[in-house]
Amino acid sequence: MEYSHLLPVVLAFSIIFLYSLILKYSSRVARKLNLPPQACGARPIIGHLHLLRGSSEPAHIVLGKMADQYGPIFTMKMGMKRTIVVSNSEMAKECLKTNDVIFAGRPKGLARETLGYDGAFFVFSRYDHYFRKIRRIVMTEALSSHRLETLKHIRESEVKAAIKGIFDRIRRRDGGGSNSKKDSGVVVEMEEWFEGINENVIFRMIVGKRFSEAGKILNSEKGDLILREKIRGYVKLLAAFAVSDTIPFLRWLDLFRVKREMKKMAKEVDVLLEGWLEEHKQKRKTNNSKSDSDDNEERDFMDVMISILDGDDNVTSTYDADTINKAVSLTIILGGIDTITGTLTWILTLLLNNREVLKKAQQELDQHVGRERQVKESDTENLVYLQAVIKETLRLYPPGPIPRPDHESTEDCVVGGYHIPAKTRLVINISKIQRDPKVWPDPNEFRPERFLTTHKSVDVRGQDFELIPFSSGRRICPGMYLALKSMPLLLASLLHGFELSTLGEEPVDMSEAGGLTNHKSGKVEVLLTPRLPARLYGH
């Protein structure tokens, strides 16, 4: 009995000893199978996690430095999970094109189970019949080029309303005069402004009402603010580190209470989705003039999904119709708002720090649009310099520098001449790929002109692996076309309608916040001054 206090110590040393033996055996197997080189510094149980969790830098920067040391493909141990990290375009092409089907798998994880409706989030689901069917529905009924074209009035009306809102603030400050003074302006926190527009666009597409109206379901005067915080919290938890995802036998501990927080958030947001869905069902019962056979173009996505899933046993055999509707609708809401908002903030920050580029973009707008009308979405196709600005920002600051969730191989394959076993996780370091000096001269400089000259033919739609901000292959970001429609219109309208200036002489800080989506750290406050006649702002 007097030795009982030594049992935990003995147990701990036993586990470490056994793990050391496993590592030694694994190293022999790795040499025999010709696996990619393994990074140094792995520790018992946790593997290389300490290199990522203990760093103040975002993961894509840490992994980029490791790629400089170990090469464009190397192996890490994320806890007890074998992971390969790919950091150049050739290796990415082998994974996402040559072996696309093999790497279309997804690992199981706590976020998938709790926040992702146990895989009903199609971005978390396995590459199976359910995934293919739901993705096809989403791309047809919500995010296809044709569908987005029919909904351009939503984007245009929300952008116009937001531009008018800024001008109205200036008028109120200046006493309501009919003409704005040349030196009049108002300070706007731009990320929140972008977020507000995207919230309205996405919610009108998916739920059929503006964001503030959707927030009324919370029965609070601050319903929209509460709803915004819930969405932000949901995205944050999707990116949260769950120890059990990499060290499965510790799942029962729920370290850092991640599982508890996820379950709580999932329940709260599910209540909201259930409420919006019930509103749709009640509306369908009372509005008999709108039959399922009517044209879908004027109906929101949640309503269209009700019609599609009704009686479709091929899909609802996996999950019930309501679960699918809520999960898929939430997927689009979260992805659409967060990624577009983050990228627009980076674009604006780069423009503020590169005034000559900002001036050129505004000159292009004056040339193609003039100052006698507002920008239309159809104008953006002719704004080649503005498109180059967006491309260059997506190169430097892709929405997901390391796409999440990870890919996972479903069977053995070969990448770069190395053997990759089944159940190996794949991390694509998009940020590192898009700053490769072999492909991009002066890779860390903001030079939109490169997309009008040397890299004119390089596109962002997943076919040119030197530039894959939305990833590529079967798991390419489904919201890509929405982003490429929304961002040019919003950015063009802002630059066309206002002069922009910072509140100080110092450049805007370019620190990255990290997380599921690549957001800029800190606020971006900008002084906006009208540059068009007052009548063009809705007066």
* Alpha helices for 48-128 (secondary structure H): 49-53, 59-70, 89-93, 110-114
Torsion of CA 300, 343, 388, 151, to 10 degrees: 10
Q: What is the CA radius of gyration of the chain?
A: 25
Binding-site residues for heme sit at 477
* Distance set, CA 467 to CA 99, 360, 418, 464 (Å): 19, 24, 24, 6
* Alpha helices for 98-189 (secondary structure H): 110-114, 129-141, 145-150, 152-173
C-beta separation of 154 from 205 below 8 A: yes
Helices (H) and strands (E) in the chain, counts: 20, 9
Find the largest Cα–Cα distance for the chain: 90
Q: Any bridge partners for residue 530, and if so which?
A: 498
* Distance set, CA 403 to CA 97, 139, 346 (Å): 16, 20, 18
Can you read off the two tokens belonging to residue 403? 């796409």
Binding-site residues sit at 477
DSSP 57-72: S-HHHHHHHHHHHH-S
Q: Convert 425-455 into a string of H (helix), E (strand) and C (coil).
A: EEEECHHHHCCCCCCCCCCCCCCHHHHHCCC
Q: Which is it for strands 425-428 and 81-86: parallel, antiparallel or unpaired?
A: parallel
Other Cβ atoms closer than 10 A to 178:
8
Q: Of the candidates 391, 269, 384, 241, which has an alpha carbon nearest to the alpha carbon of residue 331?
A: 269
Q: Of the candidates 263, 259, 262, which has an alpha carbon nearest to the alpha carbon of residue 243?
A: 259
**Which uninterrupted H or E stretch holds 538?**
none
